[in-house]
Copies of this chain bind each other. A is one copy, B any other.
Amino acid sequence: MPTPATRDRLVAAAQELFAAQGVGATSPRQVLAASGVGQGSLYHHFPAKHDLAVAAVSATADQALAAALQELSGDSPALGRVLAYLERPRDALAGCRVGRLTSDQAVMDDDDLRATVRTFFDRLVATVAEVLTEAGVPPDDATDRAHAAVAVVQGGYVLARATGDPQAMRAAVRGFVTLLDPTTRDRPDDEESL
């Protein structure tokens, strides 16, 4: 009988395959094989590929947003929380699991999947803007800088993948961080948590 654990295994397998090869290139058959569950369970939980894609893309976006919101919340100084988000160690060569979906035609052509990606970025940018406002940045500037912060991370992934060098992302983040908070230029190298 299908169980919640079976559904979770299907979603997790789809998330990994989507990250490795894209949504459009992933078949339900591949997800079935990677998950190790029975064929009946797949069609019980996800009658159509679209249902599975929505569940897996939503799970990926939820996990990515939760990680960012954890860094951006709390009682520590606001600007430091934005730096924690920017400087989080990332698997730069793998690319952003959410950001890369914007280049996946199967995602962009699907209203539900596109809405999931949009909501992720809307909430991420809005939260960074709130924290920058809390740090004393005027609201209009905070919104622009929040867009810039999220863009630097996304573009950092593009640069790292393009050059095959994770340091390209670190340089991009460092270049933005030292402008956003000039006091960071005086940090010893070993405090750069990148």
Contact = CB atoms under 8 A, between A and B. Distances in A.
Interface of A: 21-22, 25, 95, 98-105, 108, 114, 117-118, 120-122, 125, 141, 143-156, 158-159, 161-164, 168-169, 171-176, 178-180, 185
B103 A162 contact: no
B148 A179 contact: yes
Contact of A163 (B98, B121, B185): B121
Given A144-B171, A147-B171, A147-B175, 14 more contacts: A99-B162, A102-B158, A120-B162, A121-B163, A145-B175, A145-B178, A147-B168, A148-B173, A149-B175, A150-B155, A150-B159, A150-B172, A151-B154, A154-B154
Contact of A105 (B21, B117, B150, B155): B21
A174 to B, nearest CB: 5
Interface centre among A144, A150, A155 (most CB of B within 10 A): A155
A129 to B, nearest CB: 10
Contacts of A176: 148, 151-152, 176, 179
Nearest to A143: B171
Contacts of A98: 162
Contacts of A152: 148, 151-152, 155, 176
A146 to B, nearest CB: 7
A96 B19 CA distance: 21
A179 B152 CA distance: 13
A187 to B, nearest CB: 13
Q: Which of A98, A117, A169, A172 has the most CB atoms of chain B within a 10 A radius of its CB?
A: A172
